Structure 1
Amino acid sequence: MAKISNSDLFDNLLTLIPAGIFWKDKDRRFLGANQMFLDYYGLNSVDEIIGKTDEDMGWHIDPTPFRNVELKVINNGETISNVPGQCIVKGMVRNIRASKRPLYSGGKIVGLIGYFMDVTDELAEKDWLASLSRTDELTGIFNRRAYSDIIIQYEEQYKQNHTDFVLYMIDLDGFKNVNDEFGHEYGNLVLKSVTKSLVFASADNCVLFRYGGDEFVILHQLQDEKEVQLIEKRIIRAIESPRNIEGTKVTIHGSIGCAQYSETTSVTALIELADKRMYEMKNSRKDHNK
């Protein structure tokens, strides 16, 4: 009879179990995770999370409930099961349920081990109309109604913990010309293509919305001021990358304006400021082309 080592058994279990599994030290820093966890968050390697907390990764609009649960597990030895929560994944806010228990070594708690499962689709089936009302029919991303709901969560987090966030207002330049020259059906294909590029650009803890027509909004909580310009450049590159749609090469240009909540006093003032800056960029491009 072939002997199976504990290490091999552990590795096989991590692959078999259909959930994102992770383990952390007593300071809530990641020690490891299985492949399903990495795939879920779009990570290339476990090295991207080793030594970091959830807050460092920026996966939650409000990280406090997650932190409180983990402190109960580590400090009190509690086992917590099926706790609902939300996390930011590939430009979307997803619903999860997480379970966590103490990680023991030598009879002492040295950290925690846990797993989560995504229940977004399950909840959407239960409340199909509500889910539909928050989803853009053409692109499949969040729509303007979802934006109105989610930005309030960002504002509340700012008021509670002064977690600043930035709003990017994006408009596709000259998109009407695409519709006029190739037709609206082709224009829809272009919008879908641009959306895929923006989803990729938004993967770093951003939430993406189709605000209307050829306008998009991206929200991102800030950990470093340098992120503002880095993300803006990434968005522009995503929009203006060459495209071949149904055999026709198309180059789309976009104007973008951004504003931080700390510059304003309300979500209304925030988007107005970002919109103003977006049009300033658009007009400066027009003047340059002339």
Structure 2
Amino acid sequence: MLKSSSLTETNLLQAVINAVPTPIFFKDAEGRYLGCNRAFENYIGLNLDQLVGKSVFELFDPELAKVYYEADKALYDSRGEQIYEAQVRYADGSIRDVMFHKAAFHAAEENIDGIVGAILDITARKDAERELEKRARTDSLTGLANRFSLMESLDQALERQRQENYGLAFWMLDLDHFKQINDTFGHPTGDTLLKKVAVKLQSCLAENSNIARLGGDEFSVILEGVTSHAEVEALAATLIEEFSKPIELEQNRLEVSVSIGIAMFDTGNNNSRELMKQADIALYQAKDKGRARFQIFKG
């Protein structure tokens, strides 16, 4: 009678946890699997019979098994709970964001100690968070970094420069006579032009550059790892030459040029706001000298 009651209870428990779409597993004090639900079988790619009695060292590669084992042991020794987020690869090859909820348990009647865990799929939530963060850091028109992202990137670039002592240049770029283009052809054409400019900047500049749109027709560039002023000057001259060519846009040939103000970080005393101010001063100097040219800030 007791055996029958126990069997019914076990089958009921398995039926209940199998109905739960969240992967659930439980292990004994030595880290051997005692059971799981169907969702966990789908996650790990093994069935219940293949799991029960096995340890992580029999199921996973040694490095990953060690991570799992040490986390389980810390949880069991503390007899507490663990809640943490991670990215995992499911048996079907998909990579998902999940939240692990794990806790130690003691079954008095069976005299079994162990841990139980549930794996909550939070991929949709994390995707939404990443999309919101991307929007917060991205210029909606051009897809380039925005001012907020630029400031963060410039601070990080300056810190790398201080640690590694390599050259860094910061550019402020402005389209010459952009207002006239907007007034003549309309703002939709102006917006399309700005998108074309963003693409051209990306194609002309090296991979070690960080390009942002600050607003309107104003762009910026962070160049890391530059070796000399001459290198920066040559790149600026090439860019100005490239922008001297008309841009074909909606059956119009638009004559567009750029002015560039350049600040060089090579003293170790600048901060990001000072560097931006210096580049801005140099930009206005370039415009005052006739536009379609670059100017390096000289303190």
Superposition TM-score, scaled by structure 1 size? 0.54
Residues 260-279 of structure 1: per-residue CA shift (max 9 Å, x gap): 12255211111111111111
Q: Tell me, yes or no, if the aligned pair for 2:167 and 2:227 is still in contact at 8 Å.
A: no
Q: Tell me, yes or no, if the aligned pair for 1:258 and 1:277 is still in contact at 8 Å.
A: yes
- Counterpart for residue 262 of structure 2: 258
Q: Tell me, yes or no, if the aligned pair for 2:211 and 2:220 is still in contact at 8 Å.
A: yes
Structure 1, gaps ≥5 residues long:
1-78, 81-122
CA drift of 1:240 comes to 2.6
Q: What is the rounded CA distance, in whole Å, between the counterparts of 1:142 and 1:177 in structure 2?
A: 26
Which of 161, 174, 178 is residue 181 of structure 2 equivalent to? Answer: 178
Go from structure 1 to structure 2 and tell me whether the alpha carbon gap of 1:124 and 1:213 turns closer, same or farther (over 3 Å shift).
farther
- Counterpart for residue 3 of structure 1: none
Q: Tell me, yes or no, if the aligned pair for 2:141 and 2:195 is still in contact at 8 Å.
A: yes
Q: What is the rounded CA distance, in whole Å, between the counterparts of 2:271 and 2:127 in structure 1?
A: 30
| 1:228 corresponds to 2:232 | yes
Residues 166-202 of structure 1: per-residue CA shift (max 9 Å, x gap): 0011011110001111110111111111111101112
Q: What is the rounded CA distance, in whole Å, between the counterparts of 2:262 and 2:127 in structure 1?
A: 31
- Counterpart for residue 239 of structure 1: 243
Aligned sequence identity (%): 30
Amino acid at match of 1:132: R
| 1:140 corresponds to 2:143 | yes
CA drift of 1:203 comes to 3.3
Residues 33-62 of structure 1: per-residue CA shift (max 9 Å, x gap): xxxxxxxxxxxxxxxxxxxxxxxxxxxxxx
Q: What is the rounded CA distance, in whole Å, between the counterparts of 1:174 and 1:273 in structure 2?
A: 22
Q: What is the rounded CA distance, in whole Å, between the counterparts of 1:194 and 1:265 in structure 2?
A: 29
Go from structure 1 to structure 2 and tell me whether the alpha carbon gap of 1:138 and 1:124 turns closer, same or farther (over 3 Å shift).
farther
Amino acid at match of 1:231: L
Which of 274, 277, 289 is residue 282 of structure 2 equivalent to? Answer: 277
Amino acid at match of 1:275: D
Describe how 1:38-187 pairs up with structure 2 within 5 A: 126-187=129-190
- Counterpart for residue 217 of structure 1: 220
Q: What is the rounded CA distance, in whole Å, between the counterparts of 1:241 and 1:203 in structure 2?
A: 20
Q: What is the rounded CA distance, in whole Å, between the counterparts of 1:133 and 1:235 in structure 2?
A: 29
| 1:267 corresponds to 2:272 | yes
Q: Secondary structure in 2 aligned to 1:222? A: strand
Q: Tell me, yes or no, if the aligned pair for 1:164 and 1:221 is still in contact at 8 Å.
A: yes
Go from structure 1 to structure 2 and tell me whether the alpha carbon gap of 1:220 and 1:136 turns closer, same or farther (over 3 Å shift).
same
Q: What is the rounded CA distance, in whole Å, between the counterparts of 1:124 and 1:244 in structure 2?
A: 37
Q: What is the rounded CA distance, in whole Å, between the counterparts of 1:280 and 1:209 in structure 2?
A: 21
Residues 139-159 of structure 1: per-residue CA shift (max 9 Å, x gap): 011111110111111111122
Q: Tell me, yes or no, if the aligned pair for 2:226 and 2:232 is still in contact at 8 Å.
A: no
RMSD across aligned C-alpha pairs, in angstroms? 2.9
Q: Tell me, yes or no, if the aligned pair for 1:172 and 1:214 is still in contact at 8 Å.
A: yes
Q: Tell me, yes or no, if the aligned pair for 1:198 and 1:238 is still in contact at 8 Å.
A: no
- Counterpart for residue 49 of structure 2: none
Q: What is the rounded CA distance, in whole Å, between the counterparts of 1:158 and 1:182 in structure 2?
A: 43
Superposition TM-score, scaled by structure 2 size? 0.53
CA drift of 1:124 comes to 6.1
Go from structure 1 to structure 2 and tell me whether the alpha carbon gap of 1:127 and 1:237 turns closer, same or farther (over 3 Å shift).
same
Q: Tell me, yes or no, if the aligned pair for 1:206 and 1:219 is still in contact at 8 Å.
A: yes
Q: What is the rounded CA distance, in whole Å, between the counterparts of 1:238 and 1:209 in structure 2?
A: 19
Q: Tell me, yes or no, if the aligned pair for 1:198 and 1:239 is still in contact at 8 Å.
A: no
Tell which has more relative contact order, 1 or 2 (C-alpha 8 A, sep 6+): 1
Go from structure 1 to structure 2 and tell me whether the alpha carbon gap of 1:124 and 1:205 turns closer, same or farther (over 3 Å shift).
farther
Q: Secondary structure in 2 aligned to 1:265? A: coil
CA drift of 1:235 comes to 2.2
Q: Secondary structure in 1 aligned to 2:266? A: helix
